[in-house]
Amino acid sequence: MPEDSSVVEKRLRDKFPNAILNLKIFKDELTFYIEKDSILEVCRFLRDDEKLAFNFLSDLCGVDTTSLGESNSLEVVYHLYSIKRNHRVRLKVTIPASKPTIKSVTSVWETANWHEREAYDMFGITFEGHPNLTRILTPDGFEGHPLRKDYPLKGRQPDSLRKIYRKAEE
């Protein structure tokens, strides 16, 4: 494990002993599984701690894990980078598919705005405290969330939207 990974792990475990549910290292990539209600505080700490300085959220995405094992859940995955320290970390938070809600991190990294809107649009994940949680990729009136595994394969939409799609194809 790279030296900076052990620093990240130690500082996180010291500050949030109950928030770290699991840790995985694969090909020198560090992934922390974080307790859902702690995500905002963990992210703020990772950004503000001088020894860590994760000042860049390079990506945030949703993952539908409902067919993996017996789970009926989604994940929110955060990819963080420290420009100052030149190190990366990944955070994963599991949320129930029946109530896919988690705190927004837009107050920590402004770039989360667009990422969270995409995860909302594609997976139906609600980000509490988001300043403008509206669809970003699908049109107004779109029903469902197309990257969820329970979304119909034929992608049935209301007649009004089908007319819009037909016009776009012409």
Where does residue 33 rank: exposed (0-12), middle (13-18), buried (19+ CB within 10 A)?
Answer: middle
Where does residue 105 rank: exposed (0-12), middle (13-18), buried (19+ CB within 10 A)?
Answer: buried
146: left (phi over 0), alpha (psi -120 to 50) or beta: alpha
Better-scored residue on pLDDT, 25 or 170: 25
Single pTM value for the model: 0.88
The pLDDT assigned to 139 comes to 85
- Please provide residue 139's backbone torsions phi and psi, each rounded to the nearest 5 degrees: -75, 160
Q: Is 123 helix (H, G, I), strand (E, B) or coil?
A: helix
- Give the CATH number of the domain where residue 59 resides: 3.30.460.80
DSSP state of 72: -
The pLDDT assigned to 2 comes to 47
Residue 68: CB partners within 8 Å, gap ≥ 6? none
For residues 77 and 61, what is the distance between their CA atoms, to the nearest angstrom?
5
How many structural domains are present in the chain?
1
Of the given ranges (20-24, 36-40, 56-60, 150-154), which has the lowest mean pLDDT? 150-154
107 lies in which domain range? 3-169
Sign of the C-alpha dihedral computed for residues 35, 40, 42 and 47 taken in this order: positive
6, pLDDT greater than 70: yes
5, pLDDT greater than 90: no
